[in-house]
């Protein structure tokens, strides 16, 4: 089956998950490769089986093919595997769950999560504001569906998802709460102070504001919206060869503000191991 046909079938079978980004009305039908809402606004599936569900033009610092490919290289090498393992532990073996991957990027997290859960009755939707990332995500071996969307104006129906997965993405908590089921959870991963600490110290001098990082403001905001939230720390070392270090440098926003001298120094002294130190926050309504 072609990707566009598979995408059309997914939307047709799961219309209740979506709403029109133009008028907020539910999707009503799929005719061939065109999706309609009940007010007859229409959206054409791309050849890759995706939908563009943003009302406005977008500009993103993350719309870079090489950066997304570097992220895929790292994640396929297992860079986030302990994080994904803990997410699956918290979800447990529930059949028929509906999962939304917020800022899914090139799709590796969604694909690996789906394969770990291994239940054909589950439904997975990933979205990102980057069209380049979503095009790359469609290369994954997954039954999930990908679309281009804005997290501040989600094209999804009220109380439609059991689990919202947010790994390092910004948050629009009012929108998240709207699409989160009453019994659902938001699982948000945020970096701790020593996340990629070796690279941060390599790129930035002690007197530079980027030499240190605090996630306190992000934590405070999460607990403001989810006062009864729980947290789990996940910390481990990840081994790097030269190719993986190059991919890490290309993937991380840490390199954006670094000086040319610091970047040259890092390239000549590639790290052999990096610390992954994050907190998984779990919030229920």
Q: Which residue positions form the known binding site for S-adenosyl-L-methionine?
A: 80, 106-107, 195
Percent helix, strand and coil across the chain, each to the nearest 5: 35, 25, 35
Residue 255 region by backbone torsions, left for phi larger than 0, else alpha for psi between -120 and 50, else beta: alpha
171: its two tokens: 């948050």
- Show binding-site residues for Zn(2+): 20, 23, 37, 41
Instruction: Give alpha helix (H) positions in 165-252.
Output: 173-179, 197-203, 216-225, 242-251
Residue partners of 283: CB distance under 8 A and separation at least 6: 185, 186, 188, 222, 225, 226, 228, 229
Residue partners of 96: CB distance under 8 A and separation at least 6: 119, 121, 122, 123
- Show binding-site residues: 20, 23, 37, 41, 80, 106-107, 195
Residue partners of 68: CB distance under 8 A and separation at least 6: 62, 105, 106, 130, 132, 133, 136
Q: Which stretches of the chain are assigned E, i.e. beta strand?
A: 27-31, 34-37, 42-44, 51-52, 98-102, 123-128, 145-148, 161-167, 180-191, 230-239, 273-284
């Amino acid at each position: 089956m072609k990707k566009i046909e598979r995408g059309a079938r997914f939307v047709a079978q799961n219309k209740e998950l979506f709403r029109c980004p133009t008028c907020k009305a539910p999707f009503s039908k799929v005719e061939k490769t065109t999706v309609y809402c009940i007010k007859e606004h229409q959206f054409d599936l791309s050849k890759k089986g995706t939908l563009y569900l943003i009302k406005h033009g977008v500009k993103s610092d993350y719309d870079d093919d090489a950066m997304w490919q570097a992220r895929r290289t790292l994640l396929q090498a297992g860079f986030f595997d302990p994080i994904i393992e803990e997410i699956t532990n918290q979800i447990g073996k529930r059949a028929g769950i509906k999962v939304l991957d917020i800022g899914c990027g090139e799709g590796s997290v969604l694909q690996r999560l789906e394969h770990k859960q291994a239940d054909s009755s589950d439904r997975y939707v990933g979205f990102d504001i980057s069209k380049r990332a979503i095009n790359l995500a469609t290369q994954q071996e997954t039954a999930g569906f990908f679309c281009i969307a804005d997290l501040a104006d989600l094209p999804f129906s009220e109380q439609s998802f059991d689990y919202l997965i947010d790994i390092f993405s910004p948050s629009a908590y009012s929108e998240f709460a709207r699409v989160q089921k009453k019994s659902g959870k938001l699982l948000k991963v945020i970096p701790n102070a020593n996340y990629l600490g070796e690279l941060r110290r390599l790129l930035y001098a002690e007197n530079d504001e980027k030499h240190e990082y605090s996630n306190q403001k992000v934590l405070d905001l999460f607990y403001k919206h989810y006062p009864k939230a729980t947290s789990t720390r996940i910390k481990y070392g990840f081994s790097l060869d030269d190719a993986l270090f190059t991919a890490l440098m290309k993937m991380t926003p840490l390199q954006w503000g670094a000086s040319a001298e610091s970047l040259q120094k890092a390239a000549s002294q590639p790290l052999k191991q990096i610390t992954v130190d994050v907190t998984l926050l779990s919030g229920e309504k």
